Amino acid sequence: MIDIDILNAITIQAVPVLLAITVHEVAHGWVALKLGDHTARIQGRISMNPIRHIDPVGTVLLPILQLIFIQHIYFGYAKPVPVDPGNFKKPREHMAIVALAGPVSNLIMAVMWALLFSLAVHGLSGTWIGYPLSLMAQTGIVINLVLMLLNLIPLPPLDGGRVLMGVLQPALALKYARIEPYGIVILLLLIFSDVLAKVMLPIIRILAGILTKLVVV
């Protein structure tokens, strides 16, 4: 039998998590399209349908494991949107802009969830929807801030690594790109060694506090 706490967690957290990772990838594809690359559009990836972006590990297995062991989803990812830099007029610079679009979209969503949190706490307080909506909004704020900060780490293949390679001199960028095959391994080591948590959690708390204070009326 499914634990009722896990079922409640899935109900409250599924929407903000799916939105966070879907919009993140759609933002990459949409900006790439505006800069001249139609690859994502042709493959049907500029879509808000989460099914088009599901990654078996990052969208399914990882969130399920987090729910089972800690009953909260702090991290997930979707299937990367395909981008062909060869279609850009300025491949390096435009690739950096496309990469930056993902974290920026997460920041915008964090602000929107903060507004919804304010509505739930102040406008819908005492109603049947107020409390669960506030929990959903809190998840939305946290997951988007986590994705934003995580993707800004200057480590390829993360967005921050793509941005850095776009601003470095070509020779340096080429050398830096050699890290990419080991990027995910390095990231996982940072995550499981608790190094990232110690660095990111204080920043997330500060940013979440700022957002909620800014929107409270």
Number of domains within the chain: 1
Catalogue the active-site residues: 25
pLDDT at 1: 43
Tens of pLDDT, residue by residue, the chain (217 residues): 445 566 667 778 888 989 999 999 999 999 999 999 999 999 999 999 999 998 888 888 888 877 777 767 777 788 999 999 999 999 999 999 999 999 999 999 999 999 999 999 888 877 888 888 999 999 999 999 999 999 999 999 899 999 999 999 999 999 999 998 888 888 878 877 878 888 888 999 999 999 988 876 5
pLDDT at 5: 64
Domain that residue 18 falls in = 4-215
pLDDT at 10: 75
Write the DSSP symbol of residue 78: -
The structure tokens listed for 153 are: 């780490």
Write the DSSP symbol of residue 120: I
pLDDT at 120: 92
Q: What is the pTM of this model?
A: 0.89
61-95: burial string, b at 16+ Cβ within 10 Å, e else: ebbeebbeeeeebbbbbbbbbebebeebeeeeebb
Q: Are 38 and 88 in contact (CB under 8 A)?
A: no
